[in-house]
Structure 1
Amino acid sequence: MALPPDQIAELNARLARYLAAEAAVLTNQEYELAGRKVVRADLAEIRAAVEDLRGQLNRAQGISPRRGRVRRVVLR
């Protein structure tokens, strides 16, 4: 699925924003501001969005997805 350059640029911009949000959450998950407790977004949701965006970019650029590890099973 080839995307136009402007859509790829938008995906890259969204990915950058999600990575910045991830860094902010990792730095300080919750804090107090003017007597109010502020909690940042859920780290798991941010990481899921990052993986999704990376997958979209990889597909748009023709990069094949990572494959799982090959495992050998011995039946007895």
Structure 2
Amino acid sequence: MTPEELKARLALYIAAEAAILGGSQEYQVGAGSTARRLTRADLGEVRAEIRSLTEQIVAATAAAGGGRRVTYIRPY
């Protein structure tokens, strides 16, 4: 994937994280002792993917020559 594709995917995961934190990803079916609470997405998995995508973007950018270059100068 290109850095642009990775960034677009990262934006979707960040939006998913915001939705989870906003509470719109969890709902309850039924009432009383038979009620079931369902969660559409797992916050831990979303955050792990955000970290993974961030690392992939850094690596892809560096591989494309967009990374920073460090030069050491030693005086004689």
TM-score interval (norm. to shorter): 0.5 to 0.7
How many residues align structurally?
58
Identical amino acids, percent of aligned pairs: 48
Paired residue type of 1:16: A
The root-mean-square deviation of aligned C-alpha atoms, in Å, is: 2.3
Larger Rg: 2
TM-score, with length taken from structure 1? 0.62
Measured after TM superposition, the shift of residue 48 of structure 1 is 0.4
Matching residue's letter, 1:31: Y
Q: TM-score, normalised by structure 2?
A: 0.62
| Long gaps (5+) in structure 1 | 65-76
Aligned with 1:30 (options 19, 26, 29): 26
Q: Unaligned regions of 5+ residues in structure 2, if any?
A: 31-35, 69-76
Distance across 2 between alignment mates of 1:44 and 1:50: 10
Superposition misfits of 4+ residues, deviation over 4 angstroms: 35-38
What pairs with 1:1-76 in structure 2 (closer than 5 Å)? 7-28=2-23, 29-32=25-28, 38-62=38-62, 63=67
